[in-house]
Amino acid sequence: MTKANSAKNPPFYVKDCSLASIATGIKSQTLAELRDRIALIKPSSIYYHFWGGRLRTSFGHREYHNDFARWAHSALHDDILAERLDLIDPTNYENLEVLRQDLIGIIQNRLEELEYIPWAKSEEQFYFVESKIIVFSTTYLIQKPEDVVKTLPLLSPSSIFYHWIDAARRLPEKIDDFTAWLSEFGDQYKELQENLRKIDPYFISLPHLQEKIAQVFINYFVKSSGEP
């Protein structure tokens, strides 16, 4: 994977990352306060509370997929709200500001349904956290798309996070880095790109996402080689 590459075949430089958690000092004890704070926090805080859990060592199969839904369940004991918040898939939104407004709307609708404002114990308040992604290089360099099959299993979950989840935030096209890289080969891998675009990373763990990406590449190149 370290041979010189021609201009027609741009290499894929694999990177890794960590998501730094930054305390904001902002907290909420009631559902109304949560609504009001969400309207004011930075977009990086919304990003963290939807995606940050993917890089926590404790993340695995969880009943709820974002911090807001988990808090509604565990601190407010409002499973109706928790389920509504859990159905939010951030990949379906054009940007975090649109997601913010939908999030506020869901909370407001729930407040209007209730006869009282739900509140949490003082030790169970929601603490808003901001995120800053720290990126660093790796020793992996992928020369051609078929090499992804053997390289992908070697990558860390945080590398998958950077190239798939964070890429959708970074790139104007809102796509992952693998799909963006394949576009540099013209229409040669159009079908592969389309298959990758079908993967929704939100409701699955990073190891599962890694497996799904690998399977798409494997299926494509097995089909292309004519193997049964």
Q: How many domains does the chain have?
A: 2
**Which H or E element spans position 24?**
strand 12-28
Residue 153 contacts by C-beta under 8 Å, 6 or more apart in sequence? Answer: 210, 214
Structure tokens at 50: 């939807």
**DSSP per-residue letters across 24-85:** EEEEESBHHHHHHHHTTS-HHHHHHHHHGGGGSTT-SS-S-SSHHHHHHHHTS--HHHHHHH
Q: Do 81 and 98 lie in a common domain?
A: yes
Q: Among the three residues 130, 156, 189, which one is the final residue of a domain in this structure? A: 130
**What is the residue whose two structure tokens read 């907290």?**
27
Q: Do 117 and 29 lie in a common domain?
A: yes
Q: Is residue 141 part of a domain?
A: yes
Q: How do residues 101-153 score in pLDDT, each as one tens digit?
A: 999 999 999 999 999 999 999 999 999 999 899 999 999 999 999 999 999 99
Three-state secondary-structure class, residue 17: strand
Q: Is residue 23 part of a domain?
A: yes
Q: Is residue 75 part of a domain?
A: yes
Q: How confident is the model at residue 196 (pLDDT cuts 50, 70, 90)?
A: very high
Q: Do 121 and 207 lie in a common domain?
A: no
Q: Do 108 and 46 lie in a common domain?
A: yes
Q: How confident is the model at residue 225 (pLDDT cuts 50, 70, 90)?
A: low
Q: Is residue 31 part of a domain?
A: yes
Q: How do residues 153-170 score in pLDDT, each as one tens digit?
A: 999 999 999 999 999 999
Residue 90 sits in which domain range? 19-130
Q: Do 114 and 145 lie in a common domain?
A: no
